[in-house]
Structure 1
């Protein structure tokens, strides 16, 4: 089934370009376009859609304000001629952030991320080796296979997700509680207020420390029961 899309932009030429680009994707259905942000916002409150292309700079309300006003926000792809709204797109966990004039190849990459993310949200995953989560990092949605995660470290409001054979961790704005809700309990365990480990990556546990493939992390006092669980006690 095609994703229902809406495009909002006060520039008619920009809307025509998006209409043209969307028409090239059988997996997308453009149900409405608006040159007026307030009319677009009102439509979205009454008509749920899957994907919204929205300009950031508009005369009545900005695209950022529009998205914040929505109770049930669809997937968002921001379009703008300015780079200084990148943080807002990150904060609102937009699928992507496209700079005008929008190149078709760049548009394609953004749409493919949206389609992939939609499938992820609605799929029933049967093969654990293919299980994944999506996190927002570097102004875009990143797909992470669960089997690639070695451990996760909390850094205040951010998480560092360390992957096997990756040069650097994935940094994302998320709490430990939130990421634990997305991770299978039989594959991951919290062993410290600042650490979650992948059970399959544990090599040994000694002196309240968990030795993983590439690092050693402590077991916190509040999580000492984890050690007994691994011993089968």
Structure 2
């Protein structure tokens, strides 16, 4: 885990450096004795774990963390118990009261390692729906209902199974593909995107969908036919 430490007390910062370097799971990227400099660094270079003192001049550790858009795991360090409540309100992983012992620091690192491993072993949730703007409204589209998507100059038509009228939205096919989960939909023509699972058959560069609708596969997207054959064989 990449981490940084921020503390305006040189001795406290040196102790944190010594403790952190004792754990192979931690990689100390930088230390700061100035909270403002540390805050600017974090905005440009995100890390996994932040050790930060609470009571610092110019910018408190609480305000520093509250101002971060992408927060790493937070372990607050302070000589004052009174800040514990505010620290946990910011969803801090732990709160170390100075003087910090190695034993207490080790328990805190164990929490961080467990949290880090949990975050990195959870499968990414695949969306089952998307939201598009159509006729001045926000419309929810279930991915399983998409029969095919058709380009119409500056607009696209989202044809849905069981519905006569498609959903019309101001968007390009390229933009729509970026919204769709990879591997479930394919572009087969400059004008068409289809759900891979909805293909019933392919003959003479024409795709027949489950609905019976036939769509052409253009020369630029002939590789789709080979990919489809390999996936179903």
TM-score, with normalisation over the residues of structure 2? 0.52
Q: 2:27 aligns with which of 26, 29, 33?
A: 29
In 2, Cα distance between equivalents of 1:73 and 1:96: 14
Trace 1:68-83 onto structure 2 (pairs within 5 A). 68-83=66-81
Q: Secondary structure at the match of 1:97?
A: strand
Q: 1:4 aligns with which of 2, 13, 27?
A: 2
Structure 1 segments unaligned to the other structure (5+ residues): 126-233
Which residue pairs with 2:108 in the alignment? 110
What stretches of structure 1 move > 3 A for 4+ residues in a row?
A: none
Structure 2 segments unaligned to the other structure (5+ residues): 124-233
Q: Secondary structure at the match of 1:7?
A: strand
Whether 2:116 is the aligned partner of 1:94: answer: no
In 2, Cα distance between equivalents of 1:60 and 1:105: 31
Trace 1:31-70 onto structure 2 (pairs within 5 A). 31-70=29-68
In 2, Cα distance between equivalents of 1:90 and 1:52: 14
Which residue pairs with 1:151 in the alignment? none
Which residue pairs with 2:177 in the alignment? none
Q: 84-93 or 41-50: which moved more?
A: 84-93
Q: Report the alpha carbon displacement of residue 122 of structure 1 after superposing the two structures with TM.
A: 1.0
In 1, Cα distance between equivalents of 2:103 and 2:41: 29
Query: What RMSD over aligned residues (CA atoms) do the two structures have, in Å?
Result: 0.8
Q: Count matched residues.
A: 123
Residue deviations 1:10-34, cap 9 Å, x none? 0000010000001110000000000
Higher CA-based Rg: 2
In 1, Cα distance between equivalents of 2:105 and 2:122: 28
In 1, Cα distance between equivalents of 2:91 and 2:26: 21
In 2, Cα distance between equivalents of 1:122 and 1:20: 27
In 1, Cα distance between equivalents of 2:39 and 2:76: 15
TM-score, with normalisation over the residues of structure 1? 0.52
